[in-house]
């Protein structure tokens, strides 16, 4: 992907661009252009991103997820990047809140702590009390972020473009794509309106999970730069585990369930589930915080991910390969399938021959990403974020209880989701959708076919007379109708076979047998109808 340089913006970003180049030179980055043997030490790389500030620091954190691009030593160092910055002065906080909410701070809040309870690169959080007595947390974005991020992204784009022009070997790293994806991610993270909507979606998706509480958004006190939420007076889960080790197993099961349920039912996931974002309330419920970094999966990717997880748990290498390739975006046509299968077999063999307490789904996904990159797969950015989320979650689980069998919790939840996936309600929903699509095809295809053939007959290629074209259109329409019925019959046979062969048993087995029978009958009807029409036409000709 080539980046087009807009020279009109060069003057605006030139000072920042020169600053970046000086920092890169000081930390031995320019030598890397001569090849891998001249890369700077991992610690110098980390210090470079920390010195360059907000956007570049965040970019370093993104690169820490790209294990398919960087050696392990660099990944380990970049994972240590901290996004702590000095707290904003209270006058700046007051000014931002008042400008955003349109009233003096004293009129909005009964109390507002001047000392933040957390401060990071994007924002800081203050404890406060509303005039109606509600205890809240107010997240205030640092001023000037939009201009700062815009300038840094433009400067990064220039650096990448210049590097690729001078050193074509950098094209293999696909850096412009990484910068573009990073820019989108950072813009989403700084949009508090989007974070508020994510909180509402998560609250709805996880409402039926016992033992979980997500603070609600106080919408009338929230904008794109200020986010006000119910206050969570819980304790960090890692500190709670030290004091109450007997209760932590249930908390871990809740974490696993909330992670998987939001992924497969809503296509959302919390991408930063570290101990600072998971609290334990005084009544034992978990409280999930900070939805600035979330991932989204469309329906097709969720379906493929379900199959991938099932294949990983079962050790099915071919199934894992096919599900993984279904997740890959366009541009992965030159995949070395045989080599990819060998690499995936090695990954699954290592998983299933390891001690269960040491198995990591996040590391398995990471190994798949590496295998895919080696064999020509263009990995989707959502998969990188999801892998990072699993790695963080699993690291936290092992910190909370090193002896906890994570895979047992994982298998139980996957089994529950699989049973739900094959429930009568889900089958009815998907069958109805499929039937509507078939109905639309049956209704629209004949007319579309006639219109296309009519246009051909009226053009330079149209040597057929109108009656001939209409007759041909009629024959094609009948063929399409038979094909549609055949497709429906095949879908019934395939779907029924899946139910019969699934481990769910019970009514699923009988429902599957019924679907297979209906599909076979439908196939026979199509075959008999076709034979009778062809036989009748043959008799007429004789």
- Residue 131 and residue 109 in contact, taking contact as beta carbons nearer than 8 Å: yes
User: Residue 9 corresponds to which tokens in the numbers above?
Assistant: 């913006």
Q: Can you tell me the distance from the alpha carbon of 461 to that of 477, in angstroms, rounded to the nearest whole number?
A: 21
**Which among 62, 72, 43 is positioned nearest to 185, based on CA atoms?**
62
Catalytic site includes residue 272: yes
Taking the alpha carbons at both ends of the chain, their separation in whole angstroms is 64
Catalytic option among 68, 272, 290, 343? 272
Q: Can you tell me the distance from the alpha carbon of 303 to that of 403, in angstroms, rounded to the nearest whole number?
A: 32
Which stretches of 100-163 are assigned E, i.e. beta strand? Answer: 109-112, 118-119, 123-130, 135-141
Tell me the three state secondary structure of residue 230.
strand
351: number of CA atoms within 13 Å, CB side? 26
Tell me the three state secondary structure of residue 217.
strand
Tell me the three state secondary structure of residue 516.
helix
Q: Can you tell me the distance from the alpha carbon of 206 to that of 270, in angstroms, rounded to the nearest whole number?
A: 12
- Residue 202 and residue 216 in contact, taking contact as beta carbons nearer than 8 Å: no
Neighbour-count burial for 255-274, b at 16+ CB within 10 Å, e otherwise: bbbbbbbbbbebbbbbbbbb
Q: Can you tell me the distance from the alpha carbon of 451 to that of 446, in angstroms, rounded to the nearest whole number?
A: 9
Q: Which residues are catalytic?
A: 272
């Amino acid at each position: 992907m080539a980046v087009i340089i807009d020279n009109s913006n060069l003057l605006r970003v030139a000072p920042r661009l020169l600053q970046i180049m000086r920092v890169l030179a000081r930390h031995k980055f320019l030598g890397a252009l001569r090849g891998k043997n001249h890369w700077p030490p991992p610690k110098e790389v980390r210090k470079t991103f920390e010195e360059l500030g907000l956007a570049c620091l965040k970019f370093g954190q993104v690169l820490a997820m790209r294990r398919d691009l960087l050696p392990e030593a660099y990944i380990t160092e970049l994972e240590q990047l901290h996004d702590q910055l000095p707290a904003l002065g209270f006058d700046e906080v007051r000014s931002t809140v008042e400008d955003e909410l349109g009233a003096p701070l004293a009129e909005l809040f009964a109390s507002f702590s001047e000392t933040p309870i957390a401060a990071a690169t994007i924002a800081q959080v203050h404890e406060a009390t509303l005039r109606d007595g509600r205890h809240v947390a107010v997240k205030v974005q640092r001023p000037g972020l939009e201009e700062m991020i815009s300038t840094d992204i433009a400067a990064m784009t220039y650096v990448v473009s210049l590097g690729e022009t001078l050193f074509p070997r950098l094209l293999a790293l696909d850096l412009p794509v990484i910068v573009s994806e990073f820019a989108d991610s950072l813009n989403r993270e700084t949009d508090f309106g989007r974070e508020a909507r994510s909180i509402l979606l998560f609250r709805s998706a996880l409402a039926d999970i016992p033992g979980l509480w997500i603070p609600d958004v106080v919408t009338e006190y929230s904008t794109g730069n200020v986010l006000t939420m119910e206050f969570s007076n819980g304790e960090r889960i890692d500190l709670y585990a030290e004091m109450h080790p007997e209760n932590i197993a249930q908390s871990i099961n809740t974490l696993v369930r909330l992670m998987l349920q939001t992924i497969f039912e809503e296509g959302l996931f919390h991408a930063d589930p570290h101990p600072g974002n998971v609290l334990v309330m005084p009544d034992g419920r978990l409280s999930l915080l900070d939805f600035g970094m979330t991932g989204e999966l469309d329906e097709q990717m969720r379906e493929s991910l379900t199959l991938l997880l099932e294949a990983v748990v079962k050790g099915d290498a071919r199934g894992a390969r096919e599900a993984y390739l279904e997740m890959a975006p366009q541009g992965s046509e030159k995949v070395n399938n045989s080599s990819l299968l060998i690499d995936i077999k090695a990954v699954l063999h290592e998983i299933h021959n390891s001690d269960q307490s040491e198995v990591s789904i996040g590391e398995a996904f990471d190994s798949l990403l590496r295998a895919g990159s080696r064999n020509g797969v263009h990995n989707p950015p959502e998969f990188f974020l999801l892998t990072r989320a699993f790695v963080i979650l699993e690291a936290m689980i092992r910190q909370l209880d090193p002896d906890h069998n994570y895979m047992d919790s994982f298998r139980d939840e996957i089994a529950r989701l699989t049973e739900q996936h094959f429930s009568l309600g889900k089958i009815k929903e998907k069958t109805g959708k499929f039937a509507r699509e078939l109905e639309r095809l049956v209704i629209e295809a004949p007319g579309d076919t006639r219109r296309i053939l009519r246009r051909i007959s009226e053009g330079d290629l149209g040597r057929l007379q109108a009656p001939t074209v209409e007759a041909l259109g009629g024959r094609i329409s009948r063929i399409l109708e038979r094909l549609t019925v055949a497709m429906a019959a095949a879908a019934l046979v395939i779907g029924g076979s899946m139910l019969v062969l699934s481990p769910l048993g019970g009514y699923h087995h009988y429902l599957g047998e019924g679907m297979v029978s209906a599909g076979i009958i439908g196939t026979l009807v199509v075959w008999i109808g076709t034979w009778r029409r062809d036989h009748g036409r043959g008799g007429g000709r004789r």
